[in-house]
Structure 1
Amino acid sequence: MRQEPSMTSFKLHPAWIPYRFGIATEEFVFVALIISFLFRRLSLPLFSWYGYTVLGSFILVHLIGLVLQWKHFNYQLKEQELLIEKGAFVTEKKQIPYERIQGITEYESLFHRVTGLTSLVIETGSTDSDADVRLEMLSKLEAAQIKEQIESIVTRKHDPEALPEVATTMLAPNQEQYAIQFKEIALASLTSLSPLFFFFLLYSVYRELSRFLELDDIINSIVRFSTQSNVMRVSMIGILIILALSYGVFRNYRLYSGFRIDADQRLIQIEKGWESVTRFSIQKDRIQAMTMRSRFIHQLLGINQVKMISSIDPEQQDKNTSAVLFPFIQRSKALDLIPKVLPDFQVAPRTLTIPQLAIVVKLCRTVLLWGIIPICIWFMFPSLRFLAVLICFAIITSQILSRRFSIYTMSPTLLHFHQGGLAPLTYWMRRDGIERLELSESYVQQRLGLATVTVTLHATPAKEVRITDVPIEWTKHCQRWYIE
């Protein structure tokens, strides 16, 4: 049996200890509150020899645990897998095959930037809390070498004849495909609900401070001063509106400042961040589907948000991955850039519209909203009859618009569905990214020759897409397309 050659073990930078110690500050505060409560029950002062001893012992034990974790932690990049050894008092070994790696995220907080270090999160696509590998406090040279070596190995698995030096060159994404502009952030922020969060923030600050300070007199004085004249009222309202809009712009600027996309033949890298910089890289063939969504106000301006669907869960806590491909972008520009960044997602030029008979199914499906509820309001609340008519009209109109602007099509490798209406949503789904495809018919659909296609994607978490009220012949053709 061929023995695997010995590999060098690598350790993290010693700055990992103060970094993790700083992260544990919240834990120290929580423990201090518990100890304070216990001491109060025992009629003992917290700031005494007993209190200092208990708190100091807890901090010392935690610090010793961090030192032991750093001492025992090491990693090896083997030929077939990544080997991790970790633990404080009990060590464990973890083996991660390279084919399980879905993406790599590079993260730099303010502490990283001060120390000149960086962190890597190697994503495996599993929902297990301990499935991903965190290599924190690495030098930038080490991080670049790890990313290069892992991606080079994965590339050779996809193309065994690829030369290592060619794969290495391909895996350095240096061709910028898109960079967000400030005017895009500002326009999207001013037309979103972000400014409303400013007033919730003011109320939260007032509620917290009122526990410790007497603010009623101060608030009353400000209100009296602001309502002395119409000019003062208008000025105060204008100041509040400007502050709210500025907060909305700042909030989105903080999230998406420096957002850019770099791509090469196999890899796509998304960089974003202001005080903390995140670089998330993922192989293009790991992206199973994409969505493009627009809210009602943004739809009037043609602004859309494009997201990727993959086996990496970007919503899981303590992850810095990014599912957003284009945060705020014009629809025409997005349709032009998507095939350039991801050639597998070529949009078919010919699309099909949902049949007119589908409006009957949609109205039957929503009869509770446009029929029963308005009738109940009409007879039970005569003073609200106008509201009943408005609800009925709005629901029927939305269903008509949904039918009118919904389209579907498929190419040899792609399934495309656009759901029209007040908040349109577009899906592009790769055939090899579909886990399951099911057909279903309701009684009304069966009578009208229509059906529903339910697509389950290889994603984390599981993602289902329903293409409703399409011709039964097309659904059968879609099923044959998936099987082949």
Structure 2
Amino acid sequence: MLAVHPVQEVIRLLPVLIGVLFIGRNGQGQIWSLVGVGIAVLGGVLRWFTTTYQITPTHIRVRRGLLSRREMSVPRDRVRTVDLTARPLQRILGLSSVVIGTGRSDHHDRGLTLDALATPQAARLRQELLRRAPAPEEESAGSELARLVPAWIRFGPFTLSGIATIGVVVGSLANIVNETHLNPDEFGLLNSLIAHLTSAPVAVAVLEITVFAAVTVAVLSSIAYVLAYWHFRLVRKDGTLHVTRGLLTTRSTTIETRRLRGAEISEPLLLRGVGGARCAAITTGLRGRGEHGSAVLLPPAPVAEARRVAGEVLGGTAPTTAELVRHGHRARLRRYTRAFLFAAAVTGILLLLWWLAGWSAWPWQAALALFPLGALLAEDRYRNLGHALLGRKLVFRQGSLLRRRYMLSSDGVIGWVFHRSFFQRRAGLVSVTATTAAGRQHYTSADIPVAEAVRLADEAVPGMLEPFLVRRP
């Protein structure tokens, strides 16, 4: 911690320190920057000096703070996950951060963090807290379910994760410019670029900006893919699924199979267009469900590979490939109605602005394209809508821009929610939600015919709806 935390504090305060360095006059900026670095280093040293932890047979306790002391205590029987993370500096020093998760569902639960322990000590601590004896060296390899193939990097540009990177970079540059009071007009390259765009025809300028943005996002997304998933391995051993990944920052996650409730295959539109998909676990106790979250079972990869991995985890490939029950023509009509109402509203507003406010005619004329585009989207949304009950596996699929297939064990369903809007009641449809303690905690299939929804829920979890049913003779 004495080597890691001071550096982390300096990096966290870097934009402010740069601003102070440029703002100061007569050399005072350098002095105040050094003072800021000293304060950051002192803060990191104090974190080491005031942080202690204790592991007892019943509890885990972490105490930190000097002026405001805080002690966190977690019963060991509440431990659900123990993740190991090593950032570049920690890897150089042979250290790892240990994040102990309790499985709480609220966003404020960040678990207990021990930062940083020696990597062998962190590995032993994980084995102890998860109540698993260390396996012999000859048995520690387990059976490998998946490993990153370098060719999968081609899916990186279609994840669009580079958009977030651009946002962070632009925000940081804007903050530095604001703090340092720099004048953008002093940068000749920027002035030349602005002059070129303003002198070019509008269509050419828009095309150049679009191509540049697309290339930048693709490159940054590919870099983000490599940083997040390089050395990815999914291994099954000792009743667990063990995931390791990361190039600069490595992460190790253990998923206990007894807490596994299913799997999710997601296919964003761009990724689906090139035959790719992601696979994630539906399990209790894991925090973070996004692309870089703890529940990742497979990075963006060929859809056939995602289905294979999900089948390995679920114990069979039927839930990943089986044909689903369609929801009928009324569900299709609802999707077309929504698409056309939206297109009509946008076109009507732009038409009124042309008629009453003197706007150009091309906006409402261009808006007419929303009708065929909406029809294509509505049809795709309907075709992706379906459900099935395959043995003890409940399968829901929905979405177009982001198509998801949820494969949930009915043994993990703890309740049902039936929701009917005014228009659904008129159409004889209902949205049914399976609630569970795992994953997103609620999985919904929309616009199912009422009788089919009740039958599905009753067969998936026999007896749960019995007090509320009136069976016809």
Counterpart-to-counterpart distance in 2, 1:413 and 1:173? 31
For 1:241 and 1:443, the matched residues in 2 are separated by: 42
Written as runs of structure 1 = structure 2, the 5 A alignment for 1:235-384 is 245-264=218-237, 266-310=239-283, 311-314=285-288, 321-343=293-315, 347=319, 349=322, 351-366=324-339, 368-377=341-350, 381=354, 383-384=362-363
**Structural RMSD (CA):** 4.6
Instruction: State the TM-score, normalized to the length of structure 1.
Output: 0.73
Q: Tell me whether 1:211 sits opposite 2:178 in the alignment.
A: no
* 1:460-481, Cα deviation, whole Å (9 max, x unpaired): 7x65433112121221123323
Cα 1:277–1:377 shift into 2, 3 Å: same
CA distance in structure 2 between the partners assigned to 1:443 and 1:240 by the alignment: 43
Out of 441, 444, 452, the residue aligned to residue 466 of structure 1 is: 444
2:163 matched to 1:189? no
1:393 is displaced (CA, Å) by 2.0
392-401 or 420-429, larger mean C-alpha shift: 420-429
In terms of mean alpha carbon deviation, does 237-246 or 120-129 score higher?
A: 237-246
Matched-pair identity in % = 15
CA distance in 1, matches of 2:157, 2:13: 40
Aligned runs of 1:113-128 on 2, under 5 Å?
113-126=91-104, 127=106
Task: Give the CA deviation at 1:433.
Answer: 3.8
Residue 279 of structure 1, CA deviation? 0.8
| 1:32-431 correspondence runs (5 A) | 58=39, 62=43, 65-70=46-51, 73-78=52-57, 80-88=58-66, 94-126=72-104, 127=106, 129=108, 132-152=111-131, 172=140, 174-185=142-153, 187-191=154-158, 193=160, 211=182, 216-218=187-189, 245-264=218-237, 266-310=239-283, 311-314=285-288, 321-343=293-315, 347=319, 349=322, 351-366=324-339, 368-377=341-350, 381=354, 383-384=362-363, 386-419=365-398, 421-431=400-410
Post-superposition offset of 1:361: 2.9
Cα distance, 1:46–1:352 mapped onto 2, change above 3 Å: closer
Conserved? CA contact 1:345–1:414, under 8 Å? no
User: Partner of 1:24: helix, strand, or coil?
Assistant: helix
Question: 1:406, CA displacement in angstroms?
Answer: 1.9
Distance 1:224 1:309, change over 3 A: same
Residue 364 and residue 282 in structure 1: after superposition, are their counterparts in 2 closer, same or farther (change >3 A)?
same
Deviations 1:351-385 (A, max 9, x none): 31121232223344455314443344456545445
Q: Is the 8 A contact 1:173 1:269 kept in 2?
A: no
TM-score under structure 2 length normalisation: 0.75
Letter in 2 for 1:24: E
| Letter in structure 1 aligned against 2:84 | E
Deviates more, 1:175-184 or 1:355-364: 355-364
Match of 1:438 in 2: 417
**Relative to 1, partners in 2 of residues 1:355 and 1:24: Cα closer, same or farther, differing over 3 Å?**
same
Q: Deviations over 1:422-445 (max 9, x none)?
A: 542222223344454211334444
| CA deviation profile, 1:7-26 (whole Å, cap 9, x unmatched) | xxxxxxxxx22322222225
- Report the 3-state secondary structure (helix = DSSP H, G, I; strand = E; otherwise coil) of the residue aligned with 2:74: strand
Shift of the 99–475 alpha-carbon distance from structure 1 to 2, 3 Å rule, reads: farther
The Cα of 1:69 is off from its aligned counterpart by 1.7
Instruction: Assess if the C-alpha contact under 8 Å between 1:433 and 1:457 holds in 2.
Output: yes
Deviation at 1:272, TM superposition (A): 1.3
The equivalent residue for 1:18 is: 3
Q: Which amino acid aligns with 2:396?
A: F
Q: For residue 297 of structure 1, what is the amino acid of its counterpart?
A: L
String of CA shifts for 1:229-281, please: whole Å, max 9, x gaps.
Answer: xxxxxxxx999987775444323212221222112252112211111211111
- Segment drifting more, 371-380 vs 192-201: 192-201
Q: Tell me which amino acid in the other structure corresponds to 1:120.
A: V
Q: Which moved more, 1:331-340 or 1:355-364?
A: 355-364
- The CA distance in 2 between the partners of 1:37 and 1:245, in whole Å, is 34
* Structure 2 Cα separation of the partners of residues 242 and 111 of structure 1: 31
The 1-side partners of 2:273 and 2:41 are apart by 59
> Structure 2 vs 1, CA of residues 32 and 266 (structure 1 numbering), >3 Å: closer, same or farther?
same
Query: Whole-Å Cα distance in 2 between the matches of residues 297 and 59 of structure 1?
Result: 43
Secondary structure at the counterpart of residue 281 of structure 2: strand
Structure 2 CA distance for partners of 1:465 and 1:57, relative to 1, 3 Å = closer
Query: Gaps spanning 5+ residues in structure 1: where?
Result: 1-15, 154-163, 227-236
In 2, Cα distance between equivalents of 1:116 and 1:68: 20
Q: Secondary structure at the match of 2:329?
A: coil
Equivalents in 2 of 1:464, 1:152: separation in Å? Answer: 29
